[in-house]
Structure 1
Amino acid sequence: MTGKTLAAAALLLALAGMSPALAAEAVVAPACEIGSYRLVDGSALDIGPGAAGQLRWRRTDGLTGALIRAGKERWTSTYGWTERPDGHTLTITDCGRGGIGFDDIAGQREALIQRDTRFESNGVELAGRLTLPPGRARVPIVVLIHGAEHSSALQDYWLQRQFASAGIGVFAYDKRGTGASGGRYSQNYLLLATDAIQAAREARRLVGDRAGRMGYQGGSQGGWVAPLAARIEPVDFVIVSFGLAVSPREEDREAIAADLARAGFGGVETAKALEVADATAAIVESDFREGFERLDEVKRKYAAQPWFSAIRGNYSGFMLSASAQDLRTQAPALVAGIEVRYDPMPVLNNLAVPQLWLLGGQDRDAPPGETVRRLDALKQSGRPIDYVVFPDADHGLYEFETGKEGERISTRQPQDYFPRMRDFILGRPAAK
């Protein structure tokens, strides 16, 4: 990549709330191997796309690994995203028939029902996919609302198979301007909420008399969109994964404060760092047309300070490393319509739909501190909200190892993450 492309990609990943390591897996693997498998011990195994030339396995307890071909029928695994062998192996002896062996435990691809569709929203044709468990029984339906990523949900979202394997119908769709959907990419939350509402209507149409409870699961930016959609047209439940009850501007400021605290700096340095946050926010709010002189001014003022290099934030750190020219020419298309001061609280204060929020205690992109305080206040006011903070998880709800240079290397998701969502959708009490 050129430096110019790298700068734009870094900004995109920051605002999408996606780590570069995870984003690299937005590659289509051979369709034959991809699917949900039931092993003879009763456990479920998902095989999905991985990095180029690889597959990725996932289990409902959060364990995952990259699969690297080691022969005609055999694949070996590395732990999480560490590239360290973990001892797991996969054999696919007859891909067309769906037979596999995982660590010598035989399994068979599940006969999930999938139906691709196209539906219209705000004059744009969107691509969707319904995935159902086999049979004719009524099932709850969850509509997956993605975050700010530009990749295809239909290709990359393994939850569409995992939920269906657990007895839940799933509707996934490519966000406007991504994948197989038409239109221009946007981060306008009201526009995206109306797209989600149309997706839910299409899901209900396709499911017909099998439709039970229906709701949304939204990750990252989807945590702003899902409650808004549910407020406009009520559903039966909302799940927010690694989302926020604060604005994007507050998200960046809270992330910068956490950056400096981790680096050992105090309130005086943090106050200065928030001047940087004000300057970057002004540029984003102007759609990258104005404010560069102010940013240059604070950079000249503080760039030599020891705390300056600790700034990461949600988008500020990436903007500090990109040139003004790159930001002016590339950023507007990447983050079109982003509402930096969007306040989710008026919606949450008036939302009667049961909600489950799942947050990462080590989330550097979406720090949960103020969000937890607001969720507590909403609960005390009688809103039907429950939340769980997974103490060791970063954004995406990934646990991690810390490398020699201080970088975080994702390993797995918390053991209770998927079961919490599954049981909430199915109306089961959470396991204690």
Structure 2
Amino acid sequence: MLLTAALAAQAAAVPVAAPCQPGAYSGPEGRFLVIMERPDTAQTGAWRWWADDGRFGLTNDGSVACRGDTLDVKTVTYNRIPVRLTPTKFKSGDLTLNGMLIEPPATAGAKPSLVVTVHGSERTPAVKYAQYPWILAAQGISAFVYDKRGTGESQGSYNQNFHALAADAAAASKEAKRLAAGRYSRFGLLGGSQGGWVAPRGANDAGADFVAVGFGLLIDPLEEDASQVATELTEAGYGADVLKQAREVTDATGNLMAEHFLKGYEQLAAVKARHGKAPWFARIKGEFTGEILALDEATLRREGRAKFDNLELDWRYDAMGWMRKVKAPQLWVIAAEDREAPPQTTVDRLQTLRREGQEIAIVRFPATDHGMVEFTQAPDGARTTTRVTDGYFRLLGDWIKGRTTPPYGRGEFLTK
């Protein structure tokens, strides 16, 4: 009994972290923090936080102390921003999708911009876990967030059909404008990663006044895989001759994907026979090529489509064709060392569109990878993310508001 009492007293003496209230918090001189729940928060007691300068972490690392409606970061106090939340259910075709409008406090004589955030390829419920709507709200922008079809409280099956997802974004836009009627100035879409394919595709149907894209691609999904393979081999020290041979390989695996594993096996067998014993061949990963090369023909015929081609993806999606139809001004933010979305072809094509007369701002952040993250790199090439690059969040906010005031960290506005 005495032992039990002693243990109870010892447990009572251990400090317990206060629960964090998800949302946006304002600090001095325009600084802000965003706190979001994680899927494992109930088990770990850790909330995710993001700062205006791109730093991020977990609340259980001691960097942020939650105290009701305030946060303490060292000696700085942040106060929770009293946003207006409007949950909703809305229709997209035959599906009912789950969404929420987040509106910052009203400012006398001004109406905020309104943005629909278009997701990437993630499967997590955006209404509960996405940080970008709150990062925008912290900067005085109204944001509408919705669970992607087949995730969270939205109906349907998860897929990566850009045309269907663009229709969902247009339906979300209609709902966002209905809910915020009379309380916003201009309206647009923000898409990250795969959202860089979806947002331009849906822009005209959504009635967008602007489109912003972060770390997106202006190539089709087959080109993305080929670009990743080329980047991997270049970083490994291989030259143009090997890259040309590797392109034969990615053409074969890409054709197999585009033909939905119904044909293309002879082409794949030929490149395996021609290059399979080369030292560089075993280094190939890409988006899918490495995995396809690891399987024999019988397995690919039996399991290939279920394993690699089960998300209704348009493998030869005409990204440039749809971009040429976009009427609204656009911002494209590029991660200069993006391994998942190698950027050079995208930048070249954006410049082509600008020469054709489209209004596109291009900002490139050096030494950043997918997600606009900075990183450290080990001798074997493995990267460890350290933070979102400083200036990225503020660039998005200012451009969406209709004004930019550089500098934005190390971001470089490309003029040609």
TM-score normalized by structure 1? 0.82
1:67 and 2:59 matched = yes
Structure 1 counterpart SS, 2:48: strand
Q: Quote the offset at 1:59 in angstroms.
A: 1.1
2:31 corresponds in structure 1 to 43
1:249 corresponds in structure 2 to 222
CA contact (8 A) 1:114 1:129 kept: yes
2:394 corresponds in structure 1 to 419
1:92 and 2:66 matched = yes
In the aligned structure 2, how far is the partner of 1:177 from the partner of 1:428? Answer: 36
Structure 1 counterpart SS, 2:375: strand
1:148/1:271 Cα in 2 relative to 1: closer, same or farther (>3 Å)? same
In the aligned structure 2, how far is the partner of 1:159 from the partner of 1:397? Answer: 13
In the aligned structure 2, how far is the partner of 1:275 from the partner of 1:252? Answer: 13
In the aligned structure 2, how far is the partner of 1:326 from the partner of 1:143? Answer: 37
1:154 corresponds in structure 2 to 127
CA contact (8 A) 1:241 1:357 kept: yes
1:361 corresponds in structure 2 to 336
Aligned AA (2:308) = A
1:124 corresponds in structure 2 to 95
Which of 302, 308, 314 aligns to 1:331? It is 308
CA contact (8 A) 2:395 2:404 kept: no
In the aligned structure 1, how far is the partner of 2:289 from the partner of 2:19? Answer: 39
1:218-247 per-residue CA deviation (whole Å, 9 max, x = no partner) reads 111111111111133431100011111111
1:55 and 2:47 matched = yes
In the aligned structure 1, how far is the partner of 2:352 from the partner of 2:266? Answer: 40
Q: Quote the offset at 1:403 in angstroms.
A: 3.1
Aligned AA (1:107) = Y
Could you tell me which runs of 5 or more consecutive residues in structure 2 were left unpaired when the two chains were aligned.
1-17, 408-416
Aligned AA (2:177) = R
Aligned residues: 380
1:300-350 per-residue CA deviation (whole Å, 9 max, x = no partner) reads 5434321123323233234445663654434343xx111111111122223
In the aligned structure 1, how far is the partner of 2:117 from the partner of 2:230? Answer: 31
CA contact (8 A) 1:41 1:105 kept: no
In the aligned structure 1, how far is the partner of 2:208 from the partner of 2:350? Answer: 20
1:197-231 per-residue CA deviation (whole Å, 9 max, x = no partner) reads 11000000111110210000011111111111113
Aligned alpha-carbon RMSD (Å): 2.2
Could you tell me which runs of 5 or more consecutive residues in structure 1 were left unpaired when the two chains were aligned.
1-29, 69-74, 77-88
Which of 250, 254, 270 aligns to 1:281? It is 254
In the aligned structure 2, how far is the partner of 1:321 from the partner of 1:133? Answer: 51
1:371 corresponds in structure 2 to 346
1:229 and 2:221 matched = no
1:141/1:321 Cα in 2 relative to 1: closer, same or farther (>3 Å)? farther
1:133-174 per-residue CA deviation (whole Å, 9 max, x = no partner) reads 023752110101111222211122111111111110000111
Q: Quote the offset at 1:123 in angstroms.
A: 0.5
In the aligned structure 1, how far is the partner of 2:265 from the partner of 2:384? Answer: 33
Which of 364, 369, 377 aligns to 1:394? It is 369
Aligned AA (1:146) = H
CA contact (8 A) 2:26 2:78 kept: yes
1:382 and 2:357 matched = yes
TM-score normalized by structure 2? 0.85
In the aligned structure 2, how far is the partner of 1:363 from the partner of 1:346? Answer: 24
1:116/1:293 Cα in 2 relative to 1: closer, same or farther (>3 Å)? farther
In the aligned structure 2, how far is the partner of 1:66 from the partner of 1:143? Answer: 27
1:218 and 2:210 matched = no
Which segment drifts farther, 244-253 or 160-169?
A: 244-253
Structure 1 counterpart SS, 2:238: coil
2:106 corresponds in structure 1 to 135
Structure 1 counterpart SS, 2:159: coil
1:184 and 2:157 matched = yes
CA contact (8 A) 2:196 2:216 kept: yes
Structure 2 counterpart SS, 1:383: coil
Q: Quote the offset at 1:387 in angstroms.
A: 0.5
In the aligned structure 1, how far is the partner of 2:294 from the partner of 2:382? Answer: 17
Aligned AA (1:123) = D
Higher-Rg structure is 2
1:111 and 2:88 matched = no
